[in-house]
Amino acid sequence: MRKWWMVWLLWMLAWGLVACETATPAPTPTATATPRWLPLTPYLSPTPSTTPTPDQAPWLPTSVLPTPTPFVHTIQKGDTLLGIALQYGVDVDALREANPALNPNLMPIGATVVIPLDKENPAGLPTPTPVPLPMGPLACYPQADGSAWCLVVVRNDAEEAVEALTGWLRWGEQETSMEALVNWLPPGARTVLLAHLPRFVDESTPQAYLLTALPVDVATEAKRYLPAEAQMQVTTPLPSRVVTVQGTVTWLADPTPREVWLILVGYTADGRPVAARRWTFVGEQLGEGGLPFSGTLYALGPPIARVEALVEAHP
């Protein structure tokens, strides 16, 4: 009996110890999200895009273009109004009308006389639409005083001669006319137009175009110009910035010219015009059958590597 009582007592003691322990609740299962990978779309920052720039439009002069240069005659010693009229086959009255300020009794050497080539246009103004002749290259050279000389080549690739060649030059804010040293350019020949600008411009590109180039028919050409040629020898070793030439101008038909122009043009080794000069011979300087000459050509920029000659003989 006593033994069973002891067993019961031990059992109750053990139960009490278990009952006194603090119960720790089991953690509640928490659902864990399974990661799901999505493709990433990269974010494009607002980078400025380049706006297409339209091609530069062909340049047109912004200022009023000068009136096309008329065909003119330069008065030489011994000239008379009647003689000029006969030389160009025009009426004396039309010549007076085209030159109202000209005093026939006082004609200063070096002055110009407008030749009325068209009865409908007594001032001798040519049409503003030139014969389309190729131009280039154009070259501009700075000078010691800060100014610039510009020269552009013009070639007559037409089947007939042209005259009254003029051009127009724009460089930065500067604009001016370009003049030729010849009145007449036969087929296949080339010459230069020249212009002087007060300032050499580094930050822009010069542009030139042809303003006038009038066609001349064969009959008219025969009245105004005599066939002539120049045989020339360059006596300075090339290339050089100062070139001396000598030779002979000969005319190929009678009569002896009343006036002869000799035009020399110098080119660089790469074909750019770099020098140009004209000599005028009149009266007693013109002997029978030929005219010996010598002269010097000065480069405006790089050395001269080639020299070409043009002759214009006036009956």
CATH number at residue 117: 3.10.350.10
Measured CA to CA, the distance from residue 234 to residue 238 in angstroms comes to 8
Judgement on whether residues 220 and 130 belong to the same structural domain of the protein? yes
214 located within any domain: yes
Structural contact between residues 116 and 95, judged by C-beta atoms closer than 8 angstroms: yes
142 located within any domain: yes
Judgement on whether residues 291 and 235 belong to the same structural domain of the protein? yes
Measured CA to CA, the distance from residue 121 to residue 111 in angstroms comes to 21
- In this prediction, residue 19 carries a pLDDT of 45
Judgement on whether residues 170 and 82 belong to the same structural domain of the protein? no
**Beta bridge pairs of residue 194:** 151, 179
Residue 92 domain boundaries: 64-125
Q: What band does 304 get if pLDDT is binned at 50, 70 and 90?
A: very high
Flag the least confident range among 71-75, 146-150, 162-166.
71-75
Judgement on whether residues 163 and 218 belong to the same structural domain of the protein? yes
Of the segments 35-49, 122-136, 248-262, 270-284, which one has the largest average pLDDT value? 270-284
Judgement on whether residues 211 and 238 belong to the same structural domain of the protein? no
Judgement on whether residues 159 and 177 belong to the same structural domain of the protein? yes
59 located within any domain: no
DSSP conformation class of 238? S
pLDDT at 309 over 90: yes
Q: For residue 113, give the nearest of 72, 84, 76, 80 by alpha carbon.
A: 72
Judgement on whether residues 236 and 291 belong to the same structural domain of the protein? yes
Measured CA to CA, the distance from residue 98 to residue 58 in angstroms comes to 36
Q: Span 9-35, mean pLDDT?
A: 45
248 located within any domain: yes
Judgement on whether residues 236 and 286 belong to the same structural domain of the protein? yes
pLDDT at 124 over 80: no
Flag the least confident range among 17-31, 103-117, 204-218, 266-280.
17-31
260 located within any domain: yes
Residues in CB range of 249: below 8 A, 6 or more apart: 228, 229, 230, 260, 262, 281, 290, 291, 293, 311, 313
> In this predicted model, what pLDDT tens digit does every residue of 76-102 receive, in sequence order?
887 888 888 877 777 888 888 888 888
- In this prediction, residue 54 carries a pLDDT of 31
> By percentage, how much of the chain surpasses pLDDT 90?
45
Of the segments 35-39, 120-124, 147-151, 210-214, which one has the largest average pLDDT value? 147-151
Single residue among 103, 125, 147 that ends a domain in this structure:
125
291 located within any domain: yes
- In this prediction, residue 296 carries a pLDDT of 96
Residues in CB range of 209: below 8 A, 6 or more apart: 135, 167, 168
- In this prediction, residue 117 carries a pLDDT of 63
- In this prediction, residue 6 carries a pLDDT of 59
Q: Which residue has the tokens 């930065």?
A: 172
Tokens representing 211 are 């303003």
Judgement on whether residues 201 and 287 belong to the same structural domain of the protein? no
Question: Can you say how many angstroms the Cα of residue 129 is from the centroid of all Cα atoms in its chain?
Answer: 19
pLDDT at 25 over 70: no
Single residue among 109, 125, 141 that ends a domain in this structure:
125
Of the segments 165-174, 184-193, 213-222, which one has the largest average pLDDT value? 184-193
- In this prediction, residue 31 carries a pLDDT of 39
233 located within any domain: yes
41 located within any domain: no
pTM score, two decimals?
0.62
- In this prediction, residue 310 carries a pLDDT of 96
> In this predicted model, what pLDDT tens digit does every residue of 131-146 receive, in sequence order?
889 998 999 999 999 9
- In this prediction, residue 10 carries a pLDDT of 55
- In this prediction, residue 2 carries a pLDDT of 52
What does the mean pLDDT of the chain come to?
A: 78
Structural contact between residues 139 and 301, judged by C-beta atoms closer than 8 angstroms: yes
Single residue among 195, 224, 253 that ends a domain in this structure:
224
- In this prediction, residue 89 carries a pLDDT of 72
Judgement on whether residues 247 and 311 belong to the same structural domain of the protein? yes
Judgement on whether residues 187 and 238 belong to the same structural domain of the protein? no
CATH assignment at residue 202: 2.60.40.10
Q: Span 265-282, mean pLDDT?
A: 96
- In this prediction, residue 63 carries a pLDDT of 35
Judgement on whether residues 189 and 137 belong to the same structural domain of the protein? yes
Instruction: Please count the structural domains in the chain.
Output: 3
pLDDT at 47 over 60: no
CA atoms within 13 A on the CB side of 306: 8
Is the preceding omega at residue 255 within 30 degrees of 0, hence cis? yes
- In this prediction, residue 129 carries a pLDDT of 58
